[in-house]
């Protein structure tokens, strides 16, 4: 029997599990997918918002700025890239300037530090590639960029290092309540737990219904993006938002933490909670919209597009509370934007609810907040490179030529706690396949390494989801069979 089961291994589930691992609790985190962060957490704008946008009296308003302030220390402890590069909200006319000023006022109510309204000249000086008709902007220096899936993986690894259990490919199908707590029925056996955190993203309403509650619904709102090559990653230095107007929120243009350029998203209400397809019309729409910010983006340097689903709650705010119908069942639902930014504060807030139910928790002796540092070969000096290759020659073999990722880094990403088991899982952890060729060169080599290290048949290595097989049969063996059959046929004739 576990003390706590966390359903969902996105940024919210992983932050909560890591927070729980600080205490003497037997904790399990489960997810239906083959990897950590395979839901909305892998497909969003990756911005750690400053916190001026959310209404002050909402949970979003209370938790965004608090979460933002926690990011520096957490990313340092977990060795995850995070850059506090600041954000602009640009205005191209007086009406937009009014909404920029309204955001500034709201930011003051939310206690956002060091904000400033920039003049046209200041905008030009700080961002020379923006269009000349921009007349001013709100500047918030505390905004940042992060790699959300790297952070979620690091949180899961650190939670596992501190004793939490992680069980993937485990889909919750139904939940029964009994006098000891809950029995969670999954495709992978039963899990018993005294308390549950429901962090199931777009499916949080369905999980809530499993304990007999229908207090909210979640509907998916899709957003699509373009990622452009690193050669154009420095077109802007800050996250550039457009001022919200009656026609909508506009799109952002931002560098990513790894130096690419990101453009998007749009917002499209859809019915299917699995539909993360991109469409040429919507991609053209976001490109067109981005031209209002800068017309210097060469779209022929696009390397890929993707879409994510916002978990839009019927209540209009984050839902973080114990269910009234099911004691000890805590919903952490409707975590749409700024959920990534607020996540560290959401985790503390949610665990405080548990403390309110069972009393103060005993801190775990020997909790280690730090994860073993990741060796990023290309970030090392020549001396350090030579040293590491001497110790382990696999760091001398480049597997991904676009991102310069070595075999040593891939092997390490497989064997850590919460390690990668799929081609995309390795791509998200150490980046082979994230570059221009999108895995065309390194994909087969990553598969070979996965098969070798996990002692599995290479045909069983999947791209991402459970059934996304890449290889079906060995052609040479088949050819041999055909040759033998032909020889037999010749003999007969
Ligand atoms: C287009 C877009 C842009 C965004 N941009 C930003 C941004 O810039 N900054 C920001 O702060 N926020 C942003 N967000 C919001 C942010 O991405 C989310 O708040 C965050 O990722 C939500 O994380 P989560 O853990 O709640 O959900 P998810 O990451 O979706 O995790 C839920 C998990 O539950 C699992 N699950 C579901 N059902 C079951 C089941 N039955 N059994 C087992 N497991 C199950 C899923 O597999 C999934 O892994 C954006 C969102 C979108 C869509």
Residues 151, 182, single domain; the answer is yes
Q: Are residues 301 and 188 in the same domain?
A: no
Tokens describing residue 123: 């905008």
Tally Cβ neighbours within 10 Å of residue 208: 25
- Average pLDDT (253-268) is 96
- Is residue 54 located within the same domain as residue 4? yes
The rounded Å distance from CA 449 to ligand 1 centre is 30
Residues 63, 179: one domain?
yes
What pLDDT score was predicted for residue 81?
A: 95
Instruction: Assign residue 325 the CATH number of its domain.
Output: 3.50.50.60
- Does residue 492 belong to any structural domain of this protein? no
* Residue 72 Cα to ligand 1 middle (Å): 21
For ligand 1, atom 41, the nearest C-alpha belongs to 172
Q: Is residue 472 part of a domain?
A: no
Q: What is the pLDDT of residues 23-79, one digit of tens each?
A: 999 999 999 999 999 999 999 999 999 999 999 899 999 999 999 999 999 999 999
Whether 93 is in a domain gets the answer yes
Count of domains observed in the chain: 3
Residues 259 and 271 in one domain: yes
Active-site residue (options: 49, 81, 185, 258): 49
C-beta of 13 in contact with ligand 1 (< 6 A) = yes
Ligand 1 atom nearest 200 alpha carbon: 34
CATH of the domain at 105: 3.30.9.10
Residue 478 located in a structural domain: no
pLDDT at 492: 60
Q: Let me know if 219 is a catalytic residue.
A: no
Question: What whole-number distance in Å separates Cα of residue 327 and Cα of residue 346?
Answer: 20
472 falls in which pLDDT band (50, 70, 90)?
Answer: confident
> Same domain for 404 and 287?
no
Q: What is the DSSP string of 454-479?
A: TT--GGG-BSSSTT-BS--S-HHHHH
Instruction: Identify the band that residue 491 occupies on the pLDDT scale cut at 50, 70 and 90.
Output: low
Per-residue confidence (pLDDT) for residue 338, from 0 to 100: 97
Please check whether residue 257 lies inside any domain of the structure.
Answer: yes
Model confidence pLDDT, tens digit, residues 336-358:
999 999 999 999 999 999 999 99
In this prediction, residues 391-397 reach a mean pLDDT of 96
| Of 348, 373, 398, the domain-final residue | 373
Kindly indicate the confidence band of residue 249, based on its pLDDT and cuts at 50, 70 and 90.
confident
- pLDDT, residue 339, reads 98
The pLDDT of 237-251, averaged and rounded, is 89
Percentage of residues in the chain having pLDDT higher than 90: 89
pLDDT, tens only, 315-336: 999 999 999 999 999 999 999 9
- Band the pLDDT of 488: cuts 50, 70, 90: confident
Domain that holds residue 165: 1-82+143-217+314-373
Asked if residue 487 is part of any domain, the answer here is no
Select from 331, 355, 373 the last residue of a domain. 373
Tell me the CA–centroid distance for residue 174 and ligand 1, in Å. 21
Average pLDDT score over residue span 168-192: 97
**What count of other Cβ atoms lies within 10 Å of the Cβ of residue 438?**
15
Query: Is the pLDDT confidence value at 487 over 80?
Result: no
DSSP E strand stretches across 36-154: 47-48, 82-83, 87-91, 116-119, 136-140, 144-146
Between 466 and 388, whose confidence is greater? 388
Q: Does ligand 1 have an atom closer than 6 angstroms to the CB of 313? A: no
Domain CATH for 412: 1.10.10
- Co-location of 129 and 165 in the same domain: no
Number of other residues whose CB lies within 10 A of the CB of residue 382: 7
pLDDT of residue 27: 98
Is the residue at 473 inside a domain? Answer: no
**pLDDT at residue 465, as a whole number:** 85
Domain boundary among 263, 283, 310: 310
Question: Is 490 domain-assigned?
Answer: no
| Whether 115 contacts 140, CB under 8 Å | yes
Same domain, 124 and 78: no
Question: Does residue 155 share a domain with residue 62?
Answer: yes
Range 103-113 average pLDDT: 96
Q: Is the pLDDT of residue 164 over 70?
A: yes
Q: Are residues 48 and 150 in the same domain?
A: yes
- Distance in Å, CA 361 to ligand 1 centroid: 28
Give 137's strand partners.
90, 118
Mean pLDDT of the chain: 95
Mutation to probe ligand 1, out of 340, 346, 350 (largest number of atoms < 8 A from CB): 340
Q: Are 115 and 170 members of one domain?
A: no
132 and 223: one domain? yes
């Amino acid at each position: 029997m576990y003390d706590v089961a966390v359903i969902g291994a996105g940024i919210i589930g992983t932050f909560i599990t890591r927070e729980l691992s600080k205490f003497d609790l037997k904790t399990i985190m489960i997810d239906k997918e083959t990897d950590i962060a395979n839901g909305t957490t892998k497909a969003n704008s990756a911005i750690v918002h400053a916190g001026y946008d959310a209404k002050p009296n909402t949970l979003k308003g209370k938790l965004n700025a608090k979460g933002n302030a926690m990011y520096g220390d957490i990313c340092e402890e977990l060795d995850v890239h995070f850059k506090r590069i600041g954000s602009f909200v640009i205005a191209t006319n007086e009406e937009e300037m009014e909404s920029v000023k309204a955001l500034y006022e709201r930011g003051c109510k939310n206690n956002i530090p060091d904000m400033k309204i920039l003049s046209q000249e200041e905008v030009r000086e700080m961002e020379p590639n923006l269009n000349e008709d921009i007349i001013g902007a709100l500047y918030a220096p505390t905004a940042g960029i992060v790699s959300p899936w790297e952070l979620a993986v690091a949180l899961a690894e650190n939670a596992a290092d501190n004793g939490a259990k992680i069980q993937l490919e485990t889909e919750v199908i139904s939940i029964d309540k009994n006098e000891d707590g809950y029995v969670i029925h999954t495709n992978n056996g039963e899990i018993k737990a005294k308390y549950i955190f429901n962090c199931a993203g777009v499916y949080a309403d369905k999980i809530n219904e499993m304990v007999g509650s229908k207090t909210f619904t979640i509907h998916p709102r899709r957003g699509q993006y373009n990622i452009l090559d690193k050669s154009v990653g420095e077109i802007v230095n800050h996250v550039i938002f457009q001022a919200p107007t009656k026609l909508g929120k506009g799109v952002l243009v931002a560098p990513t933490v790894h130096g690419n350029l990101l453009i998007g998203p749009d917002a499209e209400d859809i019915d299917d909670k699995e539909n993360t397809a991109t469409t040429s019309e919507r991609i053209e729409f976001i490109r067109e919209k981005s031209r209002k910010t800068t017309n210097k983006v060469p779209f022929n340097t696009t390397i890929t597009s993707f879409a994510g689903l916002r978990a839009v709650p019927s209540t209009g705010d984050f839902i973080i509370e114990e269910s009234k119908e099911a004691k000890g069942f805590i919903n952490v639902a409707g975590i749409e934007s700024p959920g990534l930014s607020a996540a560290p504060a959401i985790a503390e807030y949610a665990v405080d609810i548990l403390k309110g139910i069972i009393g103060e928790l005993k801190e775990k002796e020997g909790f280690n907040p730090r994860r073993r540092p990741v060796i990023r070969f290309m970030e090392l000096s020549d001396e350090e490179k030579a040293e590491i290759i001497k110790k382990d020659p696999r760091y001398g073999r480049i597997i991904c030529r676009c991102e310069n990722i070595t075999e040593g880094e891939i092997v390490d990403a497989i064997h850590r706690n919460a390690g990668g088991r799929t081609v995309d899982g390795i791509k998200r952890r150490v980046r082979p396949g994230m570059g221009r060729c999108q895995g065309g060169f390194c994909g087969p080599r990553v598969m070979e390494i996965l098969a070798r290290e996990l002692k599995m048949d290479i045909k069983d290595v999947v791209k991402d989801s459970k059934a996304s097989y890449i290889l079906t049969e060995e052609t040479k063996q088949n050819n041999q069979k055909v040759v033998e059959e032909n020889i037999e046929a010749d003999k007969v004739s």
